[in-house]
Structure 1
Amino acid sequence: MDTDTTPACPDSRPTADTEQPHARTAPGQTPRATDGKAGAVRPAPARRGAADPVKALMHRHRELCERAVDPLEIAAGLEAHGVTDRTAGRFRHRDVFSLAEEMYARVPRDDAAAPPSDAVAEPAPRASWAVLALLPGVLGAATVTGLRLTDGRLRLTVAVVGVLAVGLGVRVVLRRGPLSSPPGTHAWRTPPGTRLWTYWLLAYALLGDGLLRAADDGGPDALPTGVAGGPWPTATAPVLALTLACAPAAWCAHHFAVRARRKLATSRGLEDFADSVRPLLLGTFALFVCALAVLLALCGAALGEPAAYAQAITLGALLLLARLLTVHGFTHAPTLALGAAAVTEATALALDLTGRLPGCGFVAAPVEAVLESWGSGGIPALACGAAALTLLFHTTRTLTRASAHAPANEPR
């Protein structure tokens, strides 16, 4: 018994597709094209307009789709605009990455105008920024050596010149290499508030503990001399270790950026990407802390000073996390965390000095309790440690999003 297997059109006879090149359809129905054979019908292309939600989404993100060099950039951009894997289900896709692949494929492109492959590759010859990352440490070591070999006004001159030179070296490192903001991201540059708080924290690491000890003993009676045994002792070992730590910080930032980009290319969902990047971030952070601890031990042994592990490690961790967030376009949280630590240190100094006034001894009671329990280093350790832990929690939620690794000019 013969059976007619030819699909019937909604408003025509079974043979209508063989009789007319284009079958008539009812309003609102999608026409179906033929391939020239009797009864054979090709699937019609996807609907456009209001019935094509992907096209509507592409229209809303037209600029993102047109400038993207691969689907991953579209996925990161969509996630930055609040599109989740659950949202992608409404577009008949299992995740944002699959949706981004369709959007990328549907954008007409001129192959001749496509950017060359090296234009979107990972920047950087490593040797170029690796040498620059050593500059602050070299200048810091030269400054400490000069302070040890001079005295009087010459020592003061060496200190001023050395501080300016180290600051210039750090500025160079933050302008080129993994610790720099991507080109063309003027809005992502380090805010003035972040710079101010960073300068204060570094100055306190150098002079704050000595000032607090001197104030607790009734001083200070003289200005700092730049040596650990002076009337206002300076902590050169931890500061020197922090300048040397610019090199491992740059390497850790590069390592994290490259590995995160690779995981973005292999992930098939936003949650999958976050789960794979989180241990990478924590491992990179732990690696930097270990490197800083080694540098502190070496500098303390070389200079014959206390290594000040607690305050230096917490400060270094805070500065690294703040810089990682800034590099990826998140500048508000670092400013708040650095500012909170700096204000805490300044408040402790103010309370301790105010407690020396007649009848105000109770004001300095909290500071004196910390000094008796943990010494002068307890104040910066607690301040920077609390800020670093808060920023670490924020970082594990922020830098594990695909949008954090979007192109430089993609809004957050």
Structure 2
Amino acid sequence: MRAPAPRTAEAEPPATAAAPAAARAPRRGATDPVKSLLHRHRELVEQAVDPLEIAAGLEVHGVTDRTAARFRHRDVFSLAEELYARVPRGEAPAGTAPAVPAEPVSHWAGLVLAPGAVALVAGGGLVLTHGPARLAVGVVAALALGAALLAAVRRGPLRAAPARGSRAAALWTVWLLAYALGGDGLLAALAAGGPDEPWPLAPAPLLVLAVSVAPAAWCARLFAVRARRRLAASRGLDDFAYGVRPLLLAAVGLHLAVLTALTAAAGAPYAAVALGALLLLARLLAVHGRARAAAAGLAAAGAAEALALASVLAARLPGLDPLAVPVRAALATGGPGAVPALVCGAAALGLLAHAAVALCRASAHADATA
């Protein structure tokens, strides 16, 4: 840890009068501007596990590398190190929660394999059974797969703290998975004037998505660990962002490659790739404290799928034929799978653009424990 920086007068960075309190200059006569900054952020500094958390917290409060230069520090990370050094660490301050240690891989590695194992067993059971027995196997398989998925996302790299938007994200995820199972068949039946009988279900996409949970967890862990290391080695917020963005793209690209291979092996429609990418990006955002953005992306895709079904139904009413023109054009071009592919692909691109900004901030990785 470096020695405390030389004393200087804190000056206001070039900003408007509405600049955050952390960046405002102290009154004339102040002899230790870093001390005044420490006083304003005493709780943040006392509860931080390491200087990286202080740097992330300062970033949230509007302190930039330019602001840090006013304190005679080259960047926010250097300023955070001095703040961390100024607070005694012999005992944790009263009321401070202990740091959550990183969860060992052995605690979650088996759980992320469970959804794929359950899906494979269920697929075999559905192939070997008929009639009422097949229905019973399907019900049991659905319950078992749901339990396995819940266990997989509550431990390890896919674990996200409860936050506003988490429940909505869960509900939209269920809808998207249900559409992957039977939405294409229902849309085709509606477009043909039905359904006059039960439409066919497509378990292959669910099988692909279930098996891809394990690769998704490892991709999420790869991103979290590498980003945390980059945070420790970075010498500025911009430097950190430039280094983390390729890590994000690499993690998403790796998962897309795995999804594509699994989809081809299972003979599933390639809409499963778009849905898998959407679910991974939504989970990454939720894990790193952006649950509302994740819920918004999932809601947009789910609502668009529901609107596609509703537009075909509404077109049966006199004068409302134009409502179904976009959906019928997609069906004519790429079949029923074109609708979820376009919808989920567009939502995934939107979340990727948001993640390229939100997940490249130091504050998104201050509490990473994967």
Q: TM-score, normalised by structure 1?
A: 0.79
Q: Which residue of 2 aligns with 1:95?
A: 75
Q: Does residue 368 in structure 1 map to residue 335 in structure 2? A: no
Q: Report the secondary structure of 1:289's partner residue.
A: helix
* Selected match of 2:149 from 170, 184, 208: 170
Matched, 1:73 2:48: no
The answer on whether the counterparts of 2:8 and 2:72 sit within 8 Å (CA) in structure 1 is no
Where do residues 35-184 of structure 1 align in structure 2 (5 Å cutoff)? 46=7, 50-110=30-90, 123-181=102-160
**Local SS of the residue matching 2:156:** coil
Q: Is the 8 A contact 2:223 2:247 kept in 1?
A: yes
Q: Distance in 2 between matches of 1:100 and 1:328?
A: 21
Structure 1: which 5+ runs fail to align?
1-44, 224-231, 301-306
> Following TM superposition, by how much is the alpha carbon of 1:238 offset from its aligned partner in structure 2, in angstroms?
1.6
Q: Could you say if the C-alpha distance between residues 121 and 356 of structure 1 is closer, same or farther in structure 2, counting changes exceeding 3 Å?
A: closer
For residues 134-283 of structure 1, what are the structure 2 equivalents within 5 Å? 134-181=113-160, 185-187=161-163, 191-223=166-198, 232-283=199-250
Of 333-342 and 48-57, more deviation after overlay is shown by 48-57
Aligned residues: 341
- Per-residue CA deviation, residues 334-354 of structure 1 (Å, 9 max, x unaligned), is 111111111111111011122
**How has the CA–CA distance of structure 1 residues 396 and 254 changed in structure 2, closer, same or farther, with 3 Å as cutoff?**
same
Deviates more, 1:45-54 or 1:242-251: 45-54
In 2, Cα distance between the equivalents of 1:96 and 1:113? Answer: 24
- Offset at residue 51 of structure 1 (A): 2.8
Q: Once the 2 structures are TM-superposed, how far is the Cα of residue 357 of structure 1 from its aligned partner? A: 3.5
Comparing 70-79 and 257-266, the one that deviates more: 70-79
The CA deviation at 1:142 is 1.6
1:28 aligns to what? none
* Deviation of the 1:280 alpha carbon: 0.6
Which string of whole-angstrom CA distances, capped at 9 and with x for unpartnered residues, describes residues 82-110 of structure 1? 21101111222111011011111111221
**Greater RCO, CA 8 A, separation 6+:** 2
* Structure 1 residues 202-243: Cα deviation after superposition (integer angstroms, max 9, x where no partner): 1111101111111222222222xxxxxxxx222211210000
Counterpart contact for 1:65–1:103, Cα < 8 Å:
yes
Measure the CA separation in 1 of the matches of 2:162 and 2:356: 25
| 1:59-118, Cα deviation, whole Å (9 max, x unpaired) | 1111111122221111111112221101111222111011011111111221x659xxxx
Distance 2:190 2:100 in 1: 55
In 2, the alpha carbon distance for the partners of 1:331 and 1:97 equals: 26
Larger Rg: 1
**1-side partners of 2:298 and 2:364: how far apart?**
21
Tell me, in whole angstroms, the C-alpha distance in 2 between the residues paired with 1:407 and 1:251: 18
Code of the aligned partner of 1:257: A
Cα RMSD for the two superposed structures:
2.1
Structure 2 regions of 5+ residues with no counterpart? 1-5, 10-28
Counterpart AA for 1:291: V
